[in-house]
Structures are given as structure tokens and as C-alpha cells.
A and B are shown apart, each in its own frame.
Chain A
């Protein structure tokens, strides 16, 4: 595929030649050039990428559309509300939508319960997404997760066995007010939207607001800080809604998962102290297996460990709180990437991120 010159007969010694090499032949071509001592330079590493980028969105080849909903795009809150209603409508035998509570700005928080009818009481796995507004890949993952389960539970033996013994509770967006604010006003907003100091500053970091060594480390009492922990443990309605519910079900909850970005980490308790939790060995073993499975998909590497040791100290996190009230397996996932795009992860990474995390 000659790009310059266009015809082989116009090739001249001593002049530049531009040629496109198909991906599987790149190494062979490089070896051959080296062997013949012909120097070269890679002008465009990935032609397909440039082509895709310059195409109008609709014609991009990697679109995951299921039931009319595009899972490979980021969706505003109104669309996520509609999606939840649709999901319950289309999968009524398995999915029910429930009210968890209300946000500060009085929006309804819904969670989805995925539960196969059975006469035995099942243990519960809880997963929440979007506690921090700017981490858009997180709600995208919760939606993808639900879709995957519903699409494959009849045919995938792993998933159907899962659902025979476990119920899944998924909260696609915890910090709804903040998420909407990040769409409309400030893409890099993190906290909730409750006002403090007579409206001179807004928002509590909901992941510093739980009653786990609240206010002790890695927080700020200044309401303009991005890690403002609120006026007291569970001072925020969103925190209370989640805490109340989890407390009421805690004897049946096996695993608490909270999804964030970015960093590519699986974090175990605690953030408020380096003293390891009582079941640290089990926590670490499960997390390491998860990280290995994740890496196996696309080679994305994840680090595993306690927050206080591998990230930073913080108190009042939902993960610490869940463990402290007795939920044995409690994890924070920090999804892609490691800083190249950070919070602004391009939508074309939704699919691979979600696939590997599944």
C-alpha cells in the first residue's frame, strides 16, 4: 500500500518512501528493513485510529447497543433514570427497582435488585457507583454490569450459578446531584451539592462522610476543600440513605463494592489506619485473584492493597465503614486509567474497561 510515491515505478533511490504496513506484518517489515540496513521512521503508529477519529460518531465500529441503549457512551442522569425503568420493564422476572432515599437536591436515589426467585434466602453483593461526580467511567460500569448479567444469565453457567446463590444490588449513581452538576456546570466536580457557610461553598466528599473514624485523617473541615467531610458522620442525606439500607441488610451482605476512578487499584480496608483488618489474608487473596483475572483480559495492570499503604490515609470512607459494621469483603475499585486521561477517560475505553472489570 504505497502512499508516496503512488506507483512502484516512481520509486527512486535516495528519495523518501511512505508505505502502510498491515498490523500483523509490522514486526516482519521492521526486521527486514533492519536486515537490509534501511533506516525508517514510524509516521503514523495506528492508521485505523486516525480513521475512526475522523469518522462521524455514528459510524464507529465498536458500539455496544442493547435494547436501544448505547453502553459505550456516557449518559446524563435523565437517561440513566429512563434506563433503570426500561431495565425493570424488560427483565421483570429478575430485576426490581427500589427507592433508597433522596439526595440533598431532593432527587430520588434508586437501586436495582437482581434476584432470581427461589425459596432460599440468598446472600447479597452490593455495588455502588458514582459516589464522586467526575468519575464518569464508574456509573458507566454499573450500567454495563447490569446489562451483562441480564444478557447472559440464561446462557453463561458462571452467571447462572451466581444468581442461584446470590442477590445483586446495584446503585448506578450514588451522588446524583454531583453527577448532574458535572454534566451541566463543572466536569471536574467531585462532591455532593449541599451548601455550607450560608451558600458560600458547596458539597461534601461523600466518601469521607461515613461513620468510620470520621474526621480523623485525610480530610478537611473547610467546606471549600474537595475532601470536606461534612458537618458530622452521615451528615449528608445520600450517606444516610446508603448507610441505613446497608445496616438493615448487613447480616446478609457478603461483599460491599464501591466503584471509583482513576488509578487501576483494588483497595482493601483501611484508609484510616495501617493496622490490618482481622480477615486481611482473605481480603488480599480474593483481591489478588480479581486483579489477575482483570489483567488477563487486556493486560491492564492493577495494584492491590490497603488504602493507607498504597494510596493515602483517609477516614470516613464507605468501604471502611462497611467492613467495620461486619461485612467481610469490602473493596474500592479504582478503574482506568493511571493519569493519562484521568477523569476524562474517552468513551472508546468504556468497553474494554468494563469487559476487563467484569
Chain B
């Protein structure tokens, strides 16, 4: 408890690479939930103790593939009702996960537990600069209320610059 400010949590976590289950990295984090019900997003500080593997080649492949498309990529319902994701859309799913992470962070309190339930819709938007832009509608499941709510979030991504949420 931090007087007049809120509740601070000290966490020791192990990150598991979704694409390489053997690979784990430990990290520590501090999370401060602010007082008050109409509060802002929690403050988060993370330190990663170790190296995350390089994804340079896969990133380049994906980037080049998207840039080579004649029509902007559009997709729906990832995964589908039976839990399947076409292999070429896996990277899109992963980017949606990242984008959801941002939305979840912005909306988390000590009494919420969010997961990405499904990517309802994704639309690529062509840009004049080097970034890829994806406009997502993600469905987030909140455990306590059991609600599944759609959220719009736009993600910019570049192989070297990484992922950023665009403030629309």
C-alpha cells in the first residue's frame, strides 16, 4: 500500500516464447495501480533479464509479403469457431495479441482479468511511410464480468522499429 497513491505490486515473472516453448526468460516488474475508481492505467516498469531471440528473418519475410500484396489484407474471425488459424495469418494474430496487450493495460484494475478471445476483424491500411498499419477489432474477454467486448485498436509495425499503438 502506498499512501495517497495506490497499491504497488512487485512481480517476478517467467516469459515463455509462444513459438519456442523451451525458451524462457525471467523478468521483474513493478505495477502501481492508482487510487480511485476513475483512475488511469496502472504504471508499469519491466526489466527483462536475458535476451529475447532474434526474429529478423521471419520479420523480414512477413514485412515483404505484406508490402507485396496488391490489395490490402483483410481478414475476420481469427481463430475461427473451431480454434483454427491459417498459417499465413499467424503473424497477424500475434500482432493482434500485442495490440490487445495495450488495450488491456489501459483498462486494467486490480479487479479485472482480460484475455484476447478472438480477432473479429483486421484491415491493413497502406501508408506512405515504411510502417505497416493494421486496424483491428479485437474481442476481449473479461473474467469477472464474463463480458466479451469489442475494442478498436490500430497498430503500426516495422521490422526494426517494432510495434506501436497509433493514437487515433
A residues with a Cβ closer than 8 A to B are 41-43, 45, 50, 53-54, 73-74, 183, 187-188, 190, 205, 218, 220, 225-227, 311-312, 339-347, 349
Q: Which 8 A-B pairs have the closest CB atoms?
A: A346-B83, A339-B115, A226-B146, A344-B83, A188-B148, A187-B81, A344-B79, A45-B20
Contact pick for B84, options A42, A205, A343, A346, CB 8 Å:
A346
CB pair A187–B84 under 8 Å, yes or no, is no
Collect the chain B residues with CB atoms within 8 Å of residue A183's CB.
Answer: 81
Instruction: Report if B32 contacts A (CB, 8 A).
Output: no
Query: Cα distance A308–B58 when bound, in Å?
Result: 44
Given contacts A42-B20, A45-B20, A187-B118, contact A347 B83 (CB under 8 A): yes
Collect the chain B residues with CB atoms within 8 Å of residue A227's CB.
Answer: 145-146
Given contacts A45-B21, A50-B87, contact A344 B118 (CB under 8 A): yes
Binds A, one of B42-50, B124-132, B136-144, B160-168: B136-144
Contact pick for A225, options B20, B77, B81, B147, CB 8 Å:
B147
> Which chain B residues (42-86) contact chain A, with CB distance < 8 Å?
53-54, 57-58, 77, 79-84
CB pair B141–A343 under 8 Å, yes or no, is yes
Contacts A188-B148, A341-B79 known; list 10 others, CB within 8 Å.
A41-B54, A43-B57, A45-B19, A45-B21, A54-B87, A225-B145, A226-B145, A312-B143, A339-B116, A344-B83
Instruction: Report if B41 contacts A (CB, 8 A).
Output: no
Collect the chain A residues with CB atoms within 8 Å of residue B116's CB.
Answer: 339, 342
Collect the chain B residues with CB atoms within 8 Å of residue A190's CB.
Answer: 146, 148
Closest to B117 in A: A342
Query: Cα distance A343–B140 when bound, in Å?
Result: 11
Closest to A227 in B: B146
